[in-house]
């Protein structure tokens, strides 16, 4: 992935004023391959930046299409991931400070890392095809979003019959 630079000359020339921008950014599939996902399009980064007191404030929303695998039922589904990005970039005076990515390089800033960091933070720990995905039956393995089976009900019933405490309770 090549670094994406955002030209901020306009913001530097109009200090204290918001400059709106929209950029597309190609994201590396490696970012989400561990979760079994892939990007279906470039990310769109849209927002504004503002230069003031030798600092650049970036406020944006990123949206990107994802094709991923549901953590519960294993079905593939598409989803649009939207997350905010907010970062302050500072002028780089100390040339030895290469640690920080939030520096201003003359008239541009690099936004890849800010975007990918925020993407990873905003990824839900579980990717679900829908909020109330019923998942797979633990017994017969059928996708409970499409099939109704009574396996779990039967198992619960068997467990109840097996439980001596319940038997006593029933005798009363």
Q: Which residues bind Zn ion (CB under 5 A)?
A: 70, 72-73, 129, 133, 137, 139-140, 149, 151
Q: How far is the CB of 152 from Zn ion (least distance, A)?
A: 7
Sign of the Cα torsion 141, 35, 131, 42 reads negative
Least Cβ distance, residue 150 to Zn ion (angstroms)? 7
Of 131 and 162, the one with the shorter C-beta distance to Zn ion is 131
Nearer to Zn ion, 11 or 133 (CB): 133
For 64-101, b/e burial (b = at least 16 CB within 10 A) is: bebebebbbbeeeeebebebebebebeeeeeeeeeeee
Instruction: Write down the least CB distance from residue 132 to Zn ion, Å.
Output: 9
Q: Minimal distance in Å, beta carbon 69 to Zn ion?
A: 9
* Cβ closest to Zn ion, residue 90 vs residue 128: 128
Q: Report in angstroms how near the CB of residue 76 gets to Zn ion at its nearest.
A: 10
Q: Give the separation between CA 90 and CA 100, rounded to whole angstroms.
A: 10
At a CB cut-off of 8 Å and minimum separation 6, what does 128 contact?
Answer: 70, 71, 72
Q: In this structure, what token pair is assigned to residue 149?
A: 């089976």
Nearer to Zn ion, 51 or 79 (CB): 79
Q: Give the tokens for residue 109.
A: 């800033």
Q: Radius of gyration over alpha carbons of the chain, in Å?
A: 25
Torsion angle, alpha carbons of 90, 31, 3, 52, to 10? -20
Closest CB to Zn ion among 150 and 160? 150
């Amino acid at each position: 992935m090549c670094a994406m630079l955002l030209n901020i000359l306009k913001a530097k020339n109009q200090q204290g004023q918001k400059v709106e921008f929209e950029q597309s950014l190609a994201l590396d599939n490696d970012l989400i391959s561990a979760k079994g996902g892939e990007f279906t399009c470039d990310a769109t980064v849209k927002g504004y930046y503002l230069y003031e007191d030798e600092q650049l404030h970036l406020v944006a929303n990123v949206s990107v299409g994802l094709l991923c695998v549901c953590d519960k039922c294993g079905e593939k589904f598409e989803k649009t991931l939207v997350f905010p990005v907010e970062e302050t970039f500072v002028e780089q005076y100390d040339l030895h400070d290469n640690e920080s990515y939030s520096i201003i390089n003359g008239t541009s800033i690099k936004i890849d890392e800010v975007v990918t960091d925020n993407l990873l933070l905003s990824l839900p720990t579980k990717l679900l095809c829908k909020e109330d995905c019923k998942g797979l039956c633990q017994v017969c393995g059928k996708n409970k979003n499409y099939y109704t089976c009574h396996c779990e009900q039967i198992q619960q019933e068997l467990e109840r019959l097996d439980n001596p405490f319940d038997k006593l309770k029933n005798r009363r």
